[in-house]
Structure 1
Amino acid sequence: MSETTAVRVDPSNERMLKAWDGDDGALWAKRAQRFNDGVAAYREIFFSAAAIEPSDKVLDVGCGAGETTRDAARQATEGSARGVDLSTGMLGLARRLAEQERVPNVSFEQADAQVHPFPEAGFDVVISRHGSMFFGTPLAAFTNLARVTRPGGRLVLLTWQPFRLNEWITTFRTIFAAGREVPSADLALSDPAATEELLTSAGYTGVRSTAVHRPMYFGQDVDDAAEFIVEQHGGRLRDLDEAARAKAVETLRADLAEHQTDRGVYYDSAAWLVEARRP
């Protein structure tokens, strides 16, 4: 694991650095393909909105293991794609995969996009697939991103709608609460009106949030999906006794069985496709 003091982060993002350059990031690096498979149904609509041209320079915020960065680079054949994230583990994997897949016009950097000194107006397109919801100070972050988006450039985000509209989130949060209170706070950017106000204040224009609904994949069968979900969320059961933990897992497996299809285990999900321009 890397030292977390090498990268400059805003104090409001210290907690995110600790998580993503720590255990959370390690899990996401280990399970990168499964996380990518989970949201694969959103790929076409996301990149259609990004409308990346061959000569574009693309910035991918919260790139994780770099799947979207590599996809962007393949479209920007005469340009480039740069992915930034807080997780050194995922960035290391991203670099290895780019080399294995022979994507030469891509680069990765550990950076807090809220404060990083990207080049002024240095990017034609800024994208983020579920990576823009965790900034400690969203207005400062998007003001910085607007600064580095060239005039006429585009911002395209994929963010989650409120948790109550996401079957997978509400189901797993309830099961792993195991009778305890379920946290109710939604992630940032889940309210289109607030998102429009935020991005407009940051320097973007023409902000539009489009509701999109796609099935999310969690595994090929109940055993496969249960192993993955418990690995991701099982920490919430640590303070329970063995019987309560076993009951929660049993409840999870029963719910997964109800969502088994001939293609695997799927749950409904709801996201916002957010689009904006830099005037």
Structure 2
Amino acid sequence: MNPTPTEPPIANTEQAEAWNGYEGEHWARHQGRWDAVNEGYCAPLLNAAAIGSGDRVLDVGCGSGRTTRLAAERAATGGATGLDLSAPMLERARATAEREGIRNAEFIRGDAQVHPFEPGSFDRAISRFGLTFFADPAAGFGNVGRALRPGGRLAFVAPAEPEANEWLAALTSLKDIVPMGGFGAAGKPGMFSLADPAAIRSVLAAGGYANPGVHRVEAYGEWGADADEVAAFMLGMGPGRHLLSQVGPEAREEAGRRLAGALRRYEKGDGGPLRLRSTAWLVTAERPE
């Protein structure tokens, strides 16, 4: 994808295609659901970022803008800029910020790996699961780092090892029905590319950061009302849809039944939402003075 006068520079073309197609549209359409799934990581992330009231905050891979809006509230006399590849999600982000009356948040479409940030223009950079999709992680982290002022702080969360996430454990119950895949792996662009703490420290060093900190955090996300609803939602998101595309109608029906059965154990029977535990790395680092 070559830039035009109206398009931002994009290097990560495969991810741009995904997040401006079905995946981005699905996340934008289900913004409330995804926010409920990931809400437990917002406070730890923002606390780790130590945002001051006058800070300028960059939210990388901001999606539909939940963390950008929260950062803007903390930076009451400063502001927050959300950057993402996905036009559908950014449209939802802008609409939600306007509806909530948040005036110090802006949303820009761009590829953080090559976006022409003004050097030193941000005090803080944050990301909730948005820094694992770089085609060139060293270039991406380096570019974000140059956008920070000297002494500026980076804070982000990235999924830990796959087996530590209950939603993925439930999906693996389908391994004899559908060929498992589509979730990314350590060292490759995707949600688990930074599952190894050594990989995190390596990209931070390559990006020129100092004082890295990597800590395990856990959170429970609210996925839906019951096992049947959650199973349908999981199989409708991008990776689940990819799995089902590889098998026929009978296998797809069986996969839905099997997944709902695997999720049934997480129902509480009290009318509350079905909650699943996930595990991530909470990472902090600084741009050297």
Aligned residue identity for 1:201: A
Contact 2:178 2:247 in 1 (8 A): no
Structure 2: which 5+ runs fail to align? 187-191
1:179 CA displacement: 4.9
Residue 246 (str. 1) matches residue 253 (str. 2): yes
- The root-mean-square deviation of aligned C-alpha atoms, in Å, is 1.8
**CA deviation map 1:164-187 (0-9, x unaligned):** 222212321442662535578232
Aligned with 1:41: secondary structure? helix
Residue 196 (str. 1) matches residue 201 (str. 2): yes
Contact 1:4 1:21 in 2 (8 A): no
1:115 CA displacement: 0.4
Contact 2:25 2:88 in 1 (8 A): yes
Q: What CA distance in whole angstroms lies between the structure 1 residues aligned with 2:225 and 2:13?
A: 36
- Deviates further, 260-269 or 146-155: 260-269
Q: How many residues align?
A: 275
Contact 2:214 2:282 in 1 (8 A): yes
1:227 CA displacement: 2.6
Residue 185 (str. 1) matches residue 185 (str. 2): yes
Contact 2:127 2:157 in 1 (8 A): yes
1:241 CA displacement: 2.2
- Deviates further, 185-194 or 81-90: 185-194
Q: TM-score scaled by structure 2?
A: 0.90
2:58 is matched with 59
1:189 CA displacement: 1.6
Aligned residue identity for 1:84: L
Q: What CA distance in whole angstroms lies between the structure 2 residues aligned with 1:197 and 1:174?
A: 33
1:277 is matched with 286
**CA deviation map 1:203-261 (0-9, x unaligned):** 11111110011122210112321231121113421232222111111111111211112
1:278 CA displacement: 0.9
1:194 CA displacement: 2.0
Percent identity of equivalent pairs: 37
Aligned residue identity for 2:252: R
Aligned residue identity for 2:285: A
2:225 is matched with 220
Q: What CA distance in whole angstroms lies between the structure 1 residues aligned with 2:180 and 2:284?
A: 35
1:73 is matched with 72
2:189 is matched with none
Q: What CA distance in whole angstroms lies between the structure 2 residues aligned with 1:210 and 1:231?
A: 32
Q: TM-score scaled by structure 1?
A: 0.93
- Deviates further, 202-211 or 178-187: 178-187
1:7 is matched with 8
- Deviates further, 177-186 or 239-248: 177-186
Contact 1:4 1:18 in 2 (8 A): no
